[in-house]
Amino acid sequence: MKRNHSMKQYELPFFEALAGYRESGVVPFHTPGHKQGRGIHHALRDKLEGAAQLDVSDVVASQRFGDSWTRALRAAEELAAEAFGARRTYFVVNGTSGAIHTMLLAARTLGYEEVVLPRESHISVFAGLVLSGLRPRYVTGKRLSGWYLNAPPEPAAYEVASANKEVYLATRPSYYGIAQPLGALADRAHRRGGLLLVDEAHGAHFGFHPHLPRPALQCGADLVAQSTHKVLGAFTQSSMLHVGAARVPEHSVERALLCTASTSPSGLLLASLDAARAQVATDGPALWEKALELADTLRHHIVTHLGVRVLLPADLPPGYVLDRTRLVIRTADRGLHGVEAARLMRQFGAQVELADPWHVVALITWGDTWETANRLLEALRFSLEQAERSRKIPAPDVWNLPRPVVRLTPRAAALSPAEWVPLREAAGRVSAETICPYPPGIPVLCPGEEIDADTVAYLEGIRETAFEVRGASDPTLQKVLVVRE
Ligand SMILES: Cc1ncc(COP(=O)(O)O)c(C=O)c1O
């Protein structure tokens, strides 16, 4: 399969600038202090010597780019914009979390005050609300018929009455690979003078194979945050922020980036973004063809030979598209709690991306082979064989969360003086913190929400489960931080 790309997509301007500096033999009298690896701890040297030699700060000289790190970076970002179909792309090295904070701050600089978003958004979105001061109005996803899963809200769900110009935020795809229709949402946002921001953390590969969902930029999104490190070949933390049409001026993104970005971004991470872009732009369709074939074969085997359901395109509502590289495997059908299945699979030597009470979710990328696929299958078979002996874990409904009333903006609550109260006495108080059980990373409580009896009961219920709780100042959930009255 051939994709049209310019020959320039084979180039690696930022990576070459870093490598060129190292090869020039110039002796560094600048940061970082380890001086191209000569001063690093021997444990690091053993594993990372080559990487340390390229770890320089923003003093880069290369034959081609003169003395400018900025020019090499800009050349790399321009190639990324071309490859991903953006008007402008920014490389971001504090993850899609950083890119999401930047999107929300940028929207605020353009005069927006409200954002309509799914309450099931990722925890980083709520930090973005604290930073930007945007007032949230929440919509919720819909339970997927026949599944213990929510699908992201459809465009019509965003029609919550308001006289104001709003920003819409969508997460697409969900962690489970479900991509909702987006074009109508972009149209609605634009008709009302608003913007569409998309958390496309798990969809950086969309657009590089015809059988993957359409990327958000092609659906009319104005700002899109992508974790290039999650499914493409960039190093962890390396993400991109894409700007769509001209509704968002570059200065608004750049003002926001000044608040969210380090002045010493890692050259290694930036170079990995450059290389990940070149790889997917030039070879993406062939590489994803291989990943899709592996994933489809695995799906077939799991259903027919292991007798376990795996999420299929036909399980989704009309207009929704499944990212088939993601395997959502319903171990609960065989009496096996997903978290327990993941533990047993790990014992067998396979680690899945995500586990919830009903499912394990495995990612298949072009980095997989028939051998790795076989390991997944055998580990799953092993975990199912152990199911009878498995420890039963209580299973709270991670999707049917209490929906507390918003009393203050997340910003006002998160930045107010706060005090701890015992959780059992917290009903009626306003939360000053985010309490977010993993998986699936959806906050049960956000700053500014009134803690009600249902929320207290839910939080008491998850104390006994295998869930990790992020954001909570007391991870044992005995006490909770509330706004001081
Ligand atoms: C839906 C979603 N959005 C945003 C993020 C944040 O991405 P990053 O880890 O790149 O900061 C994640 C991370 O898991 C995520 O799942």
Measured distance CA(171)–CA(153) in Å, rounded: 9
Between the CA atoms of 485, 410, 193 and 218, what dihedral angle is there, to the nearest 10 degrees? Answer: -170
Q: Which two tokens stand for residue 405?
A: 């009333």
CA 66 / ligand 1 centre spacing (Å): 36
Determine whether the shortest distance from the Cβ of 124 to ligand 1 is under 6 A.
yes
Give tens-digit pLDDT for 403-417. Answer: 889 999 999 999 999
Contact 167, 197 (CB under 8 A): yes
pLDDT at 469 over 90: no
- Ligand 1: which of 122, 354, 434 to mutate, most ligand atoms within 8 Å of CB? 122
Q: Which CATH class is domain 7-26+61-281?
A: alpha beta
Q: Of 9-23, 55-69, 306-320, which has the strongest mean pLDDT? A: 306-320
Among all chains, which residue has been given the structure tokens 């034959």? 63
Give tens-digit pLDDT for 353-375. Answer: 999 888 999 999 999 999 999 99
**Position with higher pLDDT, 117 vs 159:** 117
**Position with higher pLDDT, 181 vs 68:** 181
Give tens-digit pLDDT for 382-405. Answer: 999 987 665 555 556 667 777 889
Q: Where are the beta strands (DSSP E) in 265-423?
A: 321-322, 326-329, 354-355, 360-363, 418-422
Contact 437, 444 (CB under 8 A): yes
Average pLDDT over residues 151-178: 90
Does the global pTM surpass 0.85? Answer: yes
Q: What angle do CA 218, 219, 224 make, to 5 degrees?
A: 75
Determine whether the shortest distance from the Cβ of 171 to ligand 1 is under 6 A.
yes
Determine whether the shortest distance from the Cβ of 122 to ligand 1 is under 6 A.
yes
Instruction: State the average pLDDT for the chain.
Output: 92
CA 306 / ligand 1 centre spacing (Å): 31
**pLDDT value at residue 390:** 56
- Total number of residues shown for the chain: 485
CA 433 / ligand 1 centre spacing (Å): 19
**Cβ neighbours for 241, distance < 8 A, ≥ 6 positions apart:** 89, 90, 92, 99, 102, 103, 223, 224, 225, 226, 253
The CATH code of the domain at 410-483 is 3.90.105.10
**Position with higher pLDDT, 371 vs 148:** 371
Q: Which CATH superfamily is domain 284-389 in?
A: Aspartate Aminotransferase, domain 1 (3.90.1150.10)
pLDDT at 65 over 70: no
Q: Please state the domain extents for the chain.
A: 7-26+61-281, 284-389, 410-483
**pLDDT value at residue 2:** 44
Average pLDDT over residues 11-36: 90
CA 436 / ligand 1 centre spacing (Å): 13
CA 174 / ligand 1 centre spacing (Å): 10
Nearest 5°: phi and psi at 168? -105, 140
CA 170 / ligand 1 centre spacing (Å): 13
| Residue nearest (by alpha carbon) to ligand 1 atom 7 | 96
